[in-house]
Structure 1
């Protein structure tokens, strides 16, 4: 890890507002790139409120590339047993009710769209989008957000990130004419609730959907108004045996029971709640669950964790205003359906971290940050529409229910299932980068290399990797002059003999690639321009 001390009269190179998974992961990325980072989080302890229940493939691959696969695997195993116990109990109940000839457990879970479950046996994993994902495939599925936050918090501490919990950002003053990120005393003075003022070169708001940073900085936040009230909770209840397991659609709305004991979710199309910030009571949850499920006997005795949500869908038009940037829910909000939010935020952090660290170190111009909004905004916009589409299919009116039946029929085909899984998993995501090679702009395949390593093993330190797959000294020579920002690895790749070279950015996306037989490509045509665009020769 390259380190640097803050300079030019600032206390920290970057202050990150918000110590959830996105803020912590961004801080780790910045620290890997050599930035001096402070994270301020208003909560004194890790938030135990039930939120995201897992990650998609893209999210898991992101963390695998930073060496966190063992931690994810351990968390996934712990939670898989809890889910298996719940599903096993439900299966036993069904057998007792239906007799010994009751149907077997349904095919493995492949995800859902608006509560329409997809069958794993219909998923075509030969689709090229799922090739070479590597060992992270499926690992993050059952890792709850609270456990991920602990994993990332421990990593941030190991990397030397300063984290102040129980400290809230209350305001800031950004210097004028500081948009270009050039060296100098320009920066941001951050005001903390403790009464302390901190001077920083850059401020990043990772402080959630009601972001203080976004509001104070004046980012516009257009979008669509909410039409639902939703609850998610972990409770102790009686009468729950009469509830259907999993996702259930009724004449009133939608409810979910599981995938572990006491976890419930309800959705009603009666407009947004009057006060989202008010404590959620057992009576409120019980009334919602009874209304949606029609099970009058279900009684909630105790609430362990609960939250309200809506389908408010908004996105900042730009993720940067001068020295202030946004990532995660601070930049975009939407309903939780499809589990996209956490993964979207992790992708923001991975994309922004290495770029901002390079600007902080003075090895890249501030204009490099323009690519952050350019690359991440289209993916965020897609996620908002993906969740809006699910709301449209979940509405209880006759037109929406007719549409739902059509979508359900399509989902029960191999083509439909594969399309939906591809979108939910995030493996389709790419950036519009210059170059004609099919891999350019794509998330890099996790190539198995001749020395027994995989490509992902070479990305742990947060540096770019140039794979010299044909032992070409001319190719390596073109990569000289980029200091500690680009690692050159000369190794064969038996599984992809057509590839001669691959330049992978620190975020794991391919910036340049060449095949055997490409005119001039074996000598690195276009490589120098690509390297200089992203890393600037010294």
Structure 2
């Protein structure tokens, strides 16, 4: 049997998983039916804790982050309403603006640099599994071929062939909402720099999300030469729009909402431009993330409204959670049940995203009752404790993993700590190995001596716990403020639980 894990889908989630596996010494194969990386504009950036995880792999600056460690954003949006995170202690919300096509190209390069076998134009068309392997049929323009894999990961999107082939249900809800979005050109003479466009017969159409009587309009100048313009209309049933999306269709949608003609045109710069319709908004989650030797990742496991931009944060954190556990299984040292913690840890995070994305859809719906609810929500969100709660919800930091330790840090992503000598904890995680941070003078390091092949012990002084065990995905598995005999025993138990012996 081949020792190569196969990943179906070369989007951001599948490619990041491949990188994680390669860091652990594996050589995964990535299949994708497309002939090459898609230039279709989709997500426009990364929002939440995944930004810090990229920093932990040394990718934050390479992917366009500013100098220094990632800094939390001062605010964000919820259902088109501005949130302020000023004054929040330990603000977890980070943002890295990065168009998805560029993200895919950067991840593809990193994966190839790590030795990953990426096969564009190779479509997974059939599979069967037994207790020992998954047998795959792959279709190319030159014909079909068969390959065996110890594990298959479906990162093949919301219509996942992998999920359907293994019989995993995808329950959920389809909201009767039609969304349209496109890159457009608007007349330069209508531009109000920094604010939006002055539209004849209407007034200012502001940047951001604006709610109108029958729906919402989004205007985002990520690229000033071709701002993104989108509409959301409620009360339409799925199947109400046929054929490919057109600019005339977007013009008509804008007119229904604003009551005036918007002088929009196709972008004048060359390149691939967004032009798509989402007919019905799905909020669905797979009833399980694993069936034998097949696992689901990203949109194959969950789909939701794009409001708030949680998609890549959710899917790419799935990848970092799964990567080290699947690698441990392949490298022969995984403790019993480690791979099952992928679902038990990530499923509740997916549920939280379903909840808040549907809540945002509800809060942008038309009607005076919703207007009153938005006014009340705005009053509540202005309170620091509520803003802090929303920041944790949107960042994905409000779900605590069950790691078997009740220290205040355990189960959460490690704080962005800095040692007295200037080193940062994030710098210690670039190889995707476990890390024991030891400020005890070496006592904790001696306890962990038997795990040195998979856990790096690092001494140093910092403002925090006396010792801390960090998993490869950046989450704290154990910590202690002192280090006596009981703490040493608890550390051994944590090392055994997550890294075996």
Do residues 151 (structure 1) and 106 (structure 2) align?
yes
Do residues 393 (structure 1) and 357 (structure 2) align?
no
Give the direction of change, closer, same or farther, for the CA distance of 1:513–1:295 in structure 2 (3 Å limit). Answer: same
1:33 CA displacement: 1.5
Residue deviations 1:492-536 (CA, integer Å, cap 9, x gap): 22x23xx221000000000010112x65355x2311111111111
Equivalent residues in 2 for 1:323-402 (5 A)?
A: 323-365=293-335, 367-402=337-372
1:426 CA displacement: 2.8
**Equivalent of 2:259 in 287, 291, 294:** 294
1:278 CA displacement: 4.5
Equivalent residues in 2 for 1:60-99 (5 A)?
A: 60-73=51-64
Residue deviations 1:143-179 (CA, integer Å, cap 9, x gap): 222222222111111111110112211111111xx2x
SS where residue 30 of structure 2 aligns? strand
Indicate the residue corresponding to 2:453 in structure 1.
484
1:425 CA displacement: 2.5
Do residues 171 (structure 1) and 140 (structure 2) align?
no
Q: Distance in 1 between matches of 2:166 and 2:240?
A: 25
SS where residue 69 of structure 1 aligns? coil
Give the direction of change, closer, same or farther, for the CA distance of 1:420–1:16 in structure 2 (3 Å limit). Answer: same
Q: Distance in 2 between matches of 1:286 and 1:366?
A: 57
1:221 CA displacement: 1.0
1:358 CA displacement: 0.7
Q: Distance in 2 between matches of 1:162 and 1:361?
A: 19
1:420 CA displacement: 2.3
Indicate the residue corresponding to 1:515 in structure 2.
481
Equivalent residues in 2 for 1:193-212 (5 A)?
A: 193-194=139-140, 195-212=144-161
RMSD: 2.3
1:72 CA displacement: 2.7
Give the direction of change, closer, same or farther, for the CA distance of 1:273–1:17 in structure 2 (3 Å limit). Answer: same
Contact 1:50/1:307 (<8 A) preserved: no
Q: Distance in 2 between matches of 1:276 and 1:159?
A: 44
Indicate the residue corresponding to 1:189 in structure 2.
135
Residue deviations 1:436-482 (CA, integer Å, cap 9, x gap): 21111111112111332111101000000011111133x22221222
1:404 CA displacement: 1.7
Q: Distance in 2 between matches of 1:534 and 1:312?
A: 35
Indicate the residue corresponding to 1:124 in structure 2.
87
Count of aligned positions: 473
Contact 1:76/1:143 (<8 A) preserved: no
Indicate the residue corresponding to 1:56 in structure 2.
47
Deviates more, 1:295-304 or 1:44-53: 295-304
Q: Distance in 2 between matches of 1:328 and 1:367?
A: 21
Give the direction of change, closer, same or farther, for the CA distance of 1:142–1:347 in structure 2 (3 Å limit). Answer: same
Give the direction of change, closer, same or farther, for the CA distance of 1:346–1:241 in structure 2 (3 Å limit). Answer: same
Do residues 283 (structure 1) and 239 (structure 2) align?
no
**Equivalent of 2:466 in 479, 482, 500:** 500
Do residues 21 (structure 1) and 18 (structure 2) align?
no
Q: Distance in 1 between matches of 2:348 and 2:311?
A: 14
Indicate the residue corresponding to 2:194 in structure 1.
none
SS where residue 45 of structure 1 aligns? coil
Q: What TM-score, normalized to structure 2?
A: 0.89
SS where residue 154 of structure 1 aligns? helix
Contact 1:429/1:443 (<8 A) preserved: no
1:367 CA displacement: 2.5
1:205 CA displacement: 0.5
Q: Distance in 1 between matches of 2:259 and 2:220?
A: 17
Indicate the residue corresponding to 2:182 in structure 1.
233
Contact 1:49/1:305 (<8 A) preserved: yes
Q: Distance in 2 between matches of 1:377 and 1:301?
A: 41
Equivalent residues in 2 for 1:311-330 (5 A)?
A: 311-330=281-300
Equivalent residues in 2 for 1:214-225 (5 A)?
A: 214-225=163-174
Q: Distance in 1 between matches of 2:66 and 2:419?
A: 28
Do residues 472 (structure 1) and 463 (structure 2) align?
no
1:277 CA displacement: 9.1
Q: Distance in 1 between matches of 2:497 and 2:13?
A: 27
SS where residue 466 of structure 2 aligns? strand
Indicate the residue corresponding to 2:193 in structure 1.
none
Structure with more of its chain in helix, by fraction: 1
Give the direction of change, closer, same or farther, for the CA distance of 1:74–1:380 in structure 2 (3 Å limit). Answer: closer
Indicate the residue corresponding to 1:266 in structure 2.
231
Residue deviations 1:28-71 (CA, integer Å, cap 9, x gap): 11111222200011222222222222212301001111110211
SS where residue 48 of structure 1 aligns? coil
Contact 1:226/1:271 (<8 A) preserved: no
Indicate the residue corresponding to 2:202 in structure 1.
none
1:345 CA displacement: 0.3
Contact 1:209/1:331 (<8 A) preserved: yes
1:74 CA displacement: 5.1
Residue deviations 1:305-355 (CA, integer Å, cap 9, x gap): 222234210101210000000010100000000111110001100110000
Contact 1:124/1:414 (<8 A) preserved: yes
